Chain A
Amino acid sequence: MSDSTAIANGTSPAAHEHAHPPYQRHHFESMGQQVDATSFAMWLFLLTEIMFFGGLFTAYLIYRNWYYPAFVAGSHQLSIMWGTLNTGVLISSSFTMAMGVWCAETRRKGGLVLCLVLTFLLGLVFLGIKTVEYSEKIEKHHVPGFHYSVQSFVDPQADPEIYKDYHDKPLRLDMARHTEVYFSLYFAMTGMHALHMIIGIAILGFMIFRAQAGSYTTGHITFVENFGLYWHFVDIVWIFLFPLLYLISRHG
């Protein structure tokens, strides 16, 4: 029975003190309804996120089709080793997050804190590897803007580390300039993904303290559950980014 009904019926608040758990909001009929509504809202948010990243993916597919040689040459600048490693790191962090949700469901406080800390650390490892990759692009002037350099693409042999693996033919200057579009999309997509990771890691830091205080192991796990959905969604975005940016242009 909700509070509003109780008041309407004239019963005193003390009479139904234990009618519902303290974390049930008064505008919900039951805990089940509250959980369904919250989960529905979280999924609606994730759908807007899918549309947001979907726009970037669509732009990538269209530009790749238009400037195919430039996108192949641009893609060859990425390290498949770092990309594969980061995919493994992110999948592991999704696993530890899923285990965290299980710990919260089964009220294991120590396990939950451990899982959240591991997820937090794996998220930082992912960003660390991303930093290494970004710094390579900065050093080679592959960041779009005034200092962008097409040298690796008009004269591939000037970039021996990449040339020894791919033996790319030189691009004409007009096509070589379009590699900047590839890197614009590369930084937009991985950058937006990294921003989601940073926000997720910040929330994880907050959750670690709350979990230590026992907040999520008393039966109310909505926050952990819905954060898990967010974290897995960020993982899914990377599952598509990795093949599209790193893998599919290997032989182009």
Chain B
Amino acid sequence: MSAHGEHEHLSKHDQNLHDFHDNLDHIVSPRIYIIVGATLLVFTGITVLASLFDMGPWNPVVALFIAVVKATIVVLFFMHVKYSSKLTKLTVGAGLFTFMALVGMTLADYFTRAWGRW
């Protein structure tokens, strides 16, 4: 696994196993998982520290930015999307796009109406 960095590859005599195995062509190594897990814990510390400072309207922005970074790391490495097929990448992208469109348009509606009293 170390020779090939992030991936483990099959040796020649294991090639016949390859067709029968679910995912042997892109096994993410424990080294990556340890780095990712530690990074997520560090970012958790950072977001708690950041909340100690009064940044006015920027507190939610900073907190959500860090959350997006953490979620992206989880999706790419723990959920293997970085190593997945184009179909999976497209599915995740399409889902995110639809989500952003729905939430964005809902918020644009609510936040631009001068409803006054609710």
Give residues in A with beta carbon < 8 Å to B.
Answer: 20-21, 30-32, 35-36, 39-40, 43-44, 46-47, 50-51, 54, 57-58, 61-62, 65-66, 80, 84, 87-88, 91-92, 94-95, 97-99, 102, 105-106, 219-222, 225, 228-229, 232-233, 235-236, 239-240, 242-244, 247-248, 250-251
Contacts and interface: CB of A to CB of B under 8 A. Distances in A.
Contacts of A87: 44
Given A31-B20, A94-B74, 13 more contacts: A35-B22, A40-B91, A65-B111, A88-B41, A88-B44, A99-B30, A102-B27, A102-B30, A236-B74, A236-B75, A243-B66, A247-B48, A248-B60
Q: Which 6 A-B pairs have the closest CB atoms?
A: A95-B37, A243-B63, A47-B95, A247-B51, A251-B54, A248-B60
SS class, residues of chain A in contact with chain B: helix
Contact of B91 (A35, A44, A222): A44
Given A51-B99, A229-B79, A30 B41 contact: no
Interface of B: 8, 17, 19-24, 27-30, 33-34, 36-37, 40-41, 44, 47-48, 51-52, 54-56, 59-60, 63-64, 66-67, 70-71, 74-75, 77-79, 84-85, 87-88, 91-92, 94-96, 98-99, 102-103, 106-107, 110-111, 118
A244 B99 CA distance: 18
A20 B51 CA distance: 55
Task: Tell me the interface secondary structure of chain B in the complex.
Answer: helix
Contacts of A244: 60, 63-64
Given A58-B107, A62-B110, A229-B79, A248 B63 contact: yes
B30 A225 contact: no
B85 A36 contact: yes
A33 to B, nearest CB: 11
A84 B71 contact: no
A95 B77 CA distance: 11
B21 A31 contact: yes
A219 B44 contact: no
A80 B51 contact: yes
Nearest to A61: B107
Nearest to A47: B95
Nearest to A35: B22
A30 B41 CA distance: 40
Contact of B87 (A20, A40, A232): A40
